[in-house]
């Protein structure tokens, strides 16, 4: 059976960020392939285009430039907040203000969005709301496990 819209697909892959060298970002394990329904916009468009028509056992390699992946980093998604905004029960947990820490916040619509601490100042913290792979060229190498 070939991959087509509406088909349940399972793949094993290795994801790299590519600049001058390939840096391993993530990979699936033998007992836990990535599963998705093809054509429901849950995957990057160029990734799906490369899989269209493949069958179980077929290998794939997909290069996705930054612009077709998660786009460039956007400066307007680096937002500074006063530390006082994070006081809970009269306490300020300074441990959450470590570079690289993920802080969940609620959007005006009630959605939870995650910001990564990228700078800590005396009375404020700067959070990055860009996708973690924004600004990166990606390379997927993998194999189709199953198509149903």
Over residues 34-91, the pLDDT tens digits come to: 999 999 989 999 999 999 999 999 999 999 999 999 999 999 999 999 999 888 888 8
Regarding whether 100 and 143 lie in a shared domain, the answer is no
Q: Which residues is 13 bridged to in the sheet?
A: 142
Domain assignment present for 3: no
Regarding whether 139 and 123 lie in a shared domain, the answer is no
User: In terms of Cα–Cα distance, which of 129, 133, 26, 14 is closest to 70?
Assistant: 133
Encode burial over 42-59: b for 16+ CB neighbours within 10 A, e otherwise: ebbeebbebbeebebeee
What whole-number distance in Å separates Cα of residue 146 and Cα of residue 44? Answer: 19
Alpha helix (H) ranges present in 57-142?
none
Domain hosting 60: range is 8-71+133-147
Total number of domains constituting the chain: 2
Q: What CATH number is associated with residue 80?
A: 2.40.10.330
Give the pLDDT score at 89. 83
């Amino acid at each position: 059976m070939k991959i087509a819209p509406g088909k349940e697909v399972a793949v094993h892959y290795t994801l790299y960020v590519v600049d001058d060298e390939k840096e391993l970002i993530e990979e699936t394990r033998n007992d836990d392939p990535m599963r998705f329904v093809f054509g429901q916009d849950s995957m990057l468009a160029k990734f799906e285009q490369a899989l269209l028509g493949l069958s179980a056992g077929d290998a794939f390699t997909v290069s996705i430039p930054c612009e077709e992946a998660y786009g460039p980093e956007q400066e307007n998604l680096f937002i500074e907040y006063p530390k006082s905004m994070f006081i809970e029960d009269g306490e300020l947990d300074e441990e959450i203000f470590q570079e690289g820490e993920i802080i969940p916040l609620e959007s005006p619509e009630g959605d939870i969005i995650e910001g990564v601490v990228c700078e800590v100042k005396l009375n404020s913290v700067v959070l990055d709301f860009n996708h973690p792979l924004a600004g990166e060229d990606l390379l997927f190498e993998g194999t189709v496990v199953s198509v149903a």
